[in-house]
Structure 1
Amino acid sequence: MLWIVPVLAAVGLMGAPLVAQTKPQAVKIGFINSDAVIEAHPDYAKVKAVRDQADKELKPLQTQLTQLQQKIQSGQASAKEQQDFQTLRQAYNDALKKWATRTEEAGKPLTDQIDKVIKKVAEDNGFQVVMDYKVAQASSLVVYAADGLDLTAKVIEEVKK
């Protein structure tokens, strides 16, 4: 009967899963200032021109809306002014959508290229994750980052090639 214990122990060891003892790999996270990268792109002037056109159309509408809204809030607006406010607000929202679409269309080739450059720079420098400073800060996702993790200059250099 004593021979059963060693046999059962050996069988038990054979049935145990063999797990490789691997050391956890550190994840290297980098950051970029995406606004700076976009503004440094050689074709940024095209996007800026669209944004400037949008501002030229939207700012007067916004000024009129603000003035009418102040009158409405103070109780001094006539029925016609209240109706004008509704009509103007719809025109503003329509123009805002139009310009958002145009800005996105103008910026898409830039952002597509920049995304590829970010991937290349990250891979070349051993980064597994790259985050935007503003997003990380606004979300409170990152509370500390060591020096040397900013890839903005490297991405700008590569974008300008």
Structure 2
Amino acid sequence: MRKILGLAIVALLTFSFSGVKAQNYKFGHINSQEILKAMPDRDSAEAKIKKYAESLQDQIEQLQVEFNKKYQDYLQKRATFTDAIREMKEKELTDMQQRAQEYQQVAEQDYQRYQAETMKPVIDKADAAIKKVAKANGFTYIFDTSSGVLLYFSEQSIDITPLVKKELGITK
């Protein structure tokens, strides 16, 4: 009985694996940062981002100048103020400083959002080109060497960076 059960298991395993074909995986790698840096679209996006950052910085500086002016005015006239007015002026300065800090935090969040929105079409274009090249050349996996996480890739892995640059029309 044990022999029959053992033969049945061996036969089952043999039939199970006989239909499985050997997989041929094709691995590639890319330096996505190199691609993004070479894309002309990136330059115009970064110019927009820089201009936006400068406008935010200008507004922050205006708030700081206004605060400094009121603070200097307060320091010069502090001795002439009654306790109630001095307390009111100090509260006004504290509130103004708090609003400036809150504005700076909101501005940083807006900057990050704007940067992501502005770079998204550039990143999407690069991503589409990578996928197109990978599919056209039969790659199973594409690894990004610019992420710093990839510890090793062999000579069998193909660098598709030049192919993606060609797809994007980048000659650099």
> Is this a same-fold pair by TM over 0.5?
yes
Per the TM alignment, residue 47 of structure 1 is displaced from its structure 2 partner at its CA by 1.0
- The partner residue of 2:17 within 20, 27, 43 is 20
Per the TM alignment, residue 57 of structure 1 is displaced from its structure 2 partner at its CA by 4.4
2:17 partner SS: coil
Matches within 5 A, 1:39-54: 39-54=37-52
**Which whole-Å deviations, capped at 9, do the CAs of 1:93-145 have from their partners, x for residues lacking one?**
2112212222222222222222221111112223212222232x2xx4x3211
- The partner residue of 2:152 within 133, 144, 150 is 144
Q: Which residue of 2 aligns with 1:109?
A: 121
Identity %: 25
- List runs of 5+ in structure 2 lacking aligned partners: 65-90
- Bigger CA radius of gyration: 2
Q: Which residue of 2 aligns with 1:160?
A: 169
Scaled by the length of structure 2, the TM-score of the pair is: 0.58
| CA distance in structure 2 between the aligned counterparts of 1:153 and 1:25, rounded to whole angstroms | 26
Q: Is 2:33–2:146's contact at 8 Å kept on the other side of the alignment?
A: no
Inter-CA distance 56–125: structure 2 relative to 1 (3 Å threshold): same
Per the TM alignment, residue 155 of structure 1 is displaced from its structure 2 partner at its CA by 0.8
Scaled by the length of structure 1, the TM-score of the pair is: 0.62
Higher mean Cα deviation, 45-54 or 15-24? 15-24
Per the TM alignment, residue 59 of structure 1 is displaced from its structure 2 partner at its CA by 6.0
Inter-CA distance 153–90: structure 2 relative to 1 (3 Å threshold): farther
Inter-CA distance 16–32: structure 2 relative to 1 (3 Å threshold): closer
**Which whole-Å deviations, capped at 9, do the CAs of 1:59-117 have from their partners, x for residues lacking one?**
6759xx9xxxxxxxxxxxxx968x83x54442222112212222222222222222221
- List runs of 5+ in structure 1 lacking aligned partners: 1-7, 66-78
Per the TM alignment, residue 153 of structure 1 is displaced from its structure 2 partner at its CA by 1.8
Q: Which residue of 1 aligns with 2:130?
A: 118
Q: Is 2:49–2:118's contact at 8 Å kept on the other side of the alignment?
A: no
Q: Is 1:30–1:127's contact at 8 Å kept on the other side of the alignment?
A: yes
Per the TM alignment, residue 37 of structure 1 is displaced from its structure 2 partner at its CA by 1.5
Inter-CA distance 94–119: structure 2 relative to 1 (3 Å threshold): same
Q: Which residue of 2 aligns with 1:73?
A: none
Q: Which residue of 2 aligns with 1:72?
A: none
Matches within 5 A, 1:67-78: none
Q: Is 1:46–1:106's contact at 8 Å kept on the other side of the alignment?
A: no
| CA distance in structure 2 between the aligned counterparts of 1:119 and 1:51, rounded to whole angstroms | 27
